[in-house]
Every structure is written in C-alpha cells, then in structure tokens.
Amino acid sequence: MAGGDQVRSDHCLRFFASLKKWSELSGREDKPAWLVYGGDREMQNGNVTIIPWRKLSKLAGQLGN
C-alpha cells in the first residue's frame, strides 16, 4: 500500500468491501477474514480484520481455534 504504514480510508473501505464480498461468495460469511499488509495499524469491521504483518503471531493464534 502507498505510504507503508498508512492505510488510506478509500483503500481501507475497498478492502473491507472486497473481503466481505469474498466471504459471501465463498459461503463463509460467519468466518473471520483477514488482510495482512505492511503498515502498523490494525483495523476491524465486522468479521474482517486488516492486520500488520508484524502482528502475524496474533493471527496465527486465532487460526488455531
């Protein structure tokens, strides 16, 4: 993403919308979805989480459940 550790709000909204759409298409709306990126901010909207790669250990812990 442009700016490295900055997620622009327009990009953020598109990513959330795209991940939600993919969840619908895959029939997994009730399951969490993630986008890993090179920034520092973690954001969540419903079951969709945008997470920095530096926090992948947190994501790995959730995958085990």
Alpha-carbon 20 to chain mean position: 10
Note down pLDDT in tens along the chain; length 65 residues: 445 445 556 777 787 888 888 888 988 888 888 888 888 888 888 888 888 888 888 777 766 55
Does the reported pTM lie above 0.85?
no
DSSP state string for 37-61: ESSS--EEETTEEEEEGGGHHHHHH
> What pLDDT sits at residue 30?
84
Q: Report the SS3 class of residue 31.
A: coil
> What pLDDT sits at residue 65?
53
The angle subtended at Cα 9 by Cα 32 and Cα 24, nearest 5°, is 30
> What pLDDT sits at residue 5?
42
Q: What is the amino acid identity at position 6?
A: Q
